[in-house]
Amino acid sequence: MAPRKKTDEKPAAKSSPNEQVDLILNYLRKENRPYSAGDVSANLHNKVTKAAAAKILKDLHERNEVEGRAAGKQIVYHAIQNPEDSCTPEQLVQLDTTIADLRTQTTNLIATAKTLRSTLSSLNSTLSTADLVANVQALEVEKADLLGRLESLKAGKAKKVTKRERDEVERQWKNWGAVARKRQKISGSVWGVIEDVVQEKDKRAELREELGLDE
């Protein structure tokens, strides 16, 4: 039979009864919720056995160091609340004020985030730098073309309008002006009849818009 290898590992030292009591008390105070003896033992990773935990919790309860109550077929224990840890009415008011302030800040931050998202969306929808450069170049070309045409006009290279052409334009202007006045007179007469027939103001306005009389 091969000899056993020696190991430097030492078995974990067992906690003393007082250390186990302190361990359980500190755990209950830290968690601040009810536990059974089995839960305490398991949550402490069996540093205290279930049987020892049950005995310690029972003793602590009898000494009024922890509270205990029946929960089905088992008893659960929790740390005794210290009245000094309770909030005073003034502290509760202060907490309510703080909560209200935080809610207001949250609302403002949400609104700010919404505005920033909208701004970002607008920026993303605008022209890119490349598009802006292309537009500027196109405008420069258009500007050069207009300047060239202006120089031609200044140099007298533009086609001159003859007196006959001017007279013809004037004649057509007068002719169409007379036609427009006649149509305006006719439409005014027709509208007068419509106003007599259609009494409702809203319907008259709608009809006038459909006929395009205000254009």
* Structural domain boundaries in the chain: 17-80, 164-211
Specify whether the CB–CB gap between 20 and 57 falls below 8 A: no
The pLDDT of residue 42: 94
- Which of 43-47, 52-56, 161-165 comes out lowest in average pLDDT? 161-165
Give the per-residue pLDDT at 10: 47
Looking at residue 215, its pLDDT comes to 60
* Distance separating alpha carbons of residues 213 and 188, to the nearest angstrom: 9
At residue 12, the pLDDT reads 45
Task: Read off the pTM.
Answer: 0.36
Of 70, 19, 24, which is closest to residue 43 (Cα–Cα)?
A: 24
Which class is 17-80 in CATH? mainly alpha
- Percent of the chain surpassing pLDDT 70: 85
How many Å apart are CA 87 and CA 79, to the nearest integer? 18
Cβ-proximal residues to 50 (8 Å cutoff; 6+ apart), any chain: 37, 38, 41, 42
Q: Is residue 56's pLDDT more than 90?
A: yes
* pLDDT surpassing 60 at residue 24: yes
pLDDT class of 41 with cuts at 50, 70, 90: very high
